[in-house]
């Protein structure tokens, strides 16, 4: 199971965000380091395309995709050398597949901690970089010794040395100019900054009108290495408690669209390299998760292993064409449903119907 780790300074609102996303019950408290154990939960990934397909098919059930988040212990300056909860946070982050940095801008005197998102980003990046530098140095030592008998390690050592140089400048690997092949050769070192990243700025409700400005400042400090989303975690957490109808009314009233939690879940989903295809009918409309580049039989297998085993063909139409035409039957009559074979690479947003035969 791939997971996104919530990483941030103490009291930045990680556990609050986690609870709002996953309907979870991680400990939230105004004292620093209230989180000491990691908690993992599942967030649904709302998708407007799925809603439109469900409406078109008058589906009785709608099933969304999911993404897993893990709430981690907070960091402080010096965590990489053992301050605060020290190594505990490092071990936790190492197990994650991607990182969501949570930086605080909300102002609340009752909650200790700074509220400058750029400062927080600086501290977080420095701690991650220092931890990676220490890992690189250890690996370089070990690999150099091993290289005496195994020359094939030369490439890895070179990659580690290139990474160490970048880290020495204080630059996280996710915004280095290192080549993809070098980053790939670093995989076995499990470096923290060699993971995909995005940032959530936890803003006060009164700061939301300046969202764009906050996002641009942080994105530029991040070297545009990933998406940046400004969210009022407190407001979103309150909205998440409402029933769906009331919630969307409130969101509309506040001009927040689907809500920021949806955008956070969507960013996390796509950061993990996940894509969605859809199936739709009167019984249900459903979003299925696949990896970018997967072919039709593999995607059929996501629905059921029989569909992969007995795969014959996929009937395919992109979701927007289907919505524009208005029904599957009309699309078929117009010759807009394509028949695709085993080599077809499914696209994000494709609507599929699998033809299969398991008796063969």
Ligand X SMILES: Nc1nc2c(ncn2[C@@H]2O[C@H](COP(=O)(O)OP(=O)(O)OP(=O)(O)O)[C@@H](O)[C@H]2O)c(=O)[nH]1
Binding footprint of ligand X on the chain (CB under 6 A): 8, 10-16, 28-30, 32-35, 74, 106, 108, 111, 202, 204, 232-234
Total count of residues recorded for the chain: 360
CB 314 within 8 Å of CB 355: yes
How far apart are the C-alpha atoms of 113 and 233, rounded to whole Å?
16
How far apart are the C-alpha atoms of 316 and 45, rounded to whole Å?
23
Binding characters for Mg ion, 276-305, by CB under 5 A (x = yes): ------------------------------
Residue nearest to Mg ion (CB): 35
Whichever of 79 and 182 has its CB closer to ligand X, that residue is 79
Beta strand residue intervals within 269-326, DSSP E: 274-280, 284-291, 311-318
Whichever of 8 and 226 has its CB closer to ligand X, that residue is 8
How far apart are the C-alpha atoms of 214 and 212, rounded to whole Å?
6
How far apart are the C-alpha atoms of 196 and 224, rounded to whole Å?
12
- The listed partner (ligand X, Mg ion, none) that binds 233, CB under 5 to 8 Å by sort, is ligand X
Select the span of 15-23, 39-47, 156-164, 179-187 touching Mg ion (CB under 5 A).
15-23
Asked whether position 15 contacts Mg ion by CB under 5 A, the answer is: yes
Q: How far is the CB of 38 from ligand X (least distance, A)?
A: 11
117: nearest Cα among 105, 127, 106, 125: 105
Q: How far is the CB of 130 from Mg ion (least distance, A)?
A: 22
Q: How far is the CB of 13 from ligand X (least distance, A)?
A: 3
Binding characters for Mg ion, 17-56, by CB under 5 A (x = yes): ------------------x---------------------
Could you write out the DSSP letters of every residue in 124-148? Answer: HHHHHHHHHHHHHHHHHHHHHHHHT
Q: How far is the CB of 43 from ligand X (least distance, A)?
A: 16
Q: How far is the CB of 153 from ligand X (least distance, A)?
A: 39
How far apart are the C-alpha atoms of 191 and 61, rounded to whole Å?
42
Whichever of 234 and 274 has its CB closer to ligand X, that residue is 234
How many binding residues for Mg ion (CB under 5 A)?
Answer: 3
- The listed partner (Mg ion, ligand X, none) that binds 134, CB under 5 to 8 Å by sort, is none
350: nearest Cα among 283, 303, 282: 303
- The listed partner (Mg ion, ligand X, none) that binds 196, CB under 5 to 8 Å by sort, is none
How far apart are the C-alpha atoms of 337 and 251, rounded to whole Å?
36
223: nearest Cα among 264, 187, 158, 177: 177
Whichever of 201 and 337 has its CB closer to Mg ion, that residue is 201
Could you write out the DSSP letters of every residue in 41-57? Answer: EEEEE--HHHHHHHHHH
- The listed partner (ligand X, Mg ion, none) that binds 122, CB under 5 to 8 Å by sort, is none
80: nearest Cα among 195, 191, 222: 191
What is the token pair recorded at 204? 């006060």
- The listed partner (Mg ion, ligand X, none) that binds 41, CB under 5 to 8 Å by sort, is none
- The listed partner (ligand X, Mg ion, none) that binds 22, CB under 5 to 8 Å by sort, is none
Q: How far is the CB of 261 from Mg ion (least distance, A)?
A: 17
CB 314 within 8 Å of CB 296: yes
Tell me which residues touch Mg ion (CB under 5 A): 14-15, 35
């Amino acid at each position: 199971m791939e997971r996104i780790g919530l990483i941030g300074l103490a009291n930045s609102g990680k556990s609050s965000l986690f609870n709002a996303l996953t309907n979870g019950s991680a400990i939230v408290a105004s004292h620093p380091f209230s989180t000491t154990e990691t908690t993992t939960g599942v967030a649904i990934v709302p998708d407007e395309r799925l809603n439109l397909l469900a409406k078109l098919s008058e589906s009785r059930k709608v099933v969304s995709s999911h993404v897993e988040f893990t709430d981690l212990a907070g960091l402080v300056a010096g965590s990489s050398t053992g301050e605060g909860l020290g190594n505990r946070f490092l071990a936790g982050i190492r197990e994650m597949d991607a990182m969501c940095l949570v930086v605080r801008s909300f102002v609340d005197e009752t909650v200790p901690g700074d509220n400058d998102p750029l400062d927080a980003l600086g501290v977080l990046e420095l701690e991650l970089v220092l931890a990676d530098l220490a890992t690189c140095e250890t690996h370089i030592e070990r690999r150099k010794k091993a290289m005496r008998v195994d020359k094939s390690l030369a490439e890895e050592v070179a990659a580690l040395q290139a990474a160490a140089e970048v880290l020495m400048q204080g630059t996280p690997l996710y915004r280095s100019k290192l080549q993809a092949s070098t980053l790939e050769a670093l995989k076995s070192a499990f470096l923290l900054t060699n993971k995909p990243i995005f940032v959530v700025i936890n803003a006060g409700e009164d700061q939301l009108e300046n969202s764009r400005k906050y996002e641009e400042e942080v994105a530029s400090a991040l070297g545009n290495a990933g998406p940046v989303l400004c969210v009022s975690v407190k407001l979103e957490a309150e909205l998440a408690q409402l029933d769906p109808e009331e919630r969307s009314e409130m969101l509309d009233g506040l001009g927040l669209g689907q809500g920021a939690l949806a955008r956070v879940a969507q960013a996390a989903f796509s950061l993990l390299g996940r894509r969605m295809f859809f199936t739709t009918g009167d019984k249900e409309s459903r979003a299925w998760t696949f990896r970018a580049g997967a072919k039709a039989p593999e995607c059929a297998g996501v629905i059921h292993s029989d569909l992969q085993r007995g795969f014959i063909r996929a009937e395919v139409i992109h979701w927007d064409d289907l919505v524009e035409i208005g029904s599957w039957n009309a699309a078929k009559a117009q010759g807009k449903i394509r028949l695709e074979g085993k080599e077809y690479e499914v696209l994000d947003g494709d609507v599929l119907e699998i033809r299969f035969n398991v008796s063969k």
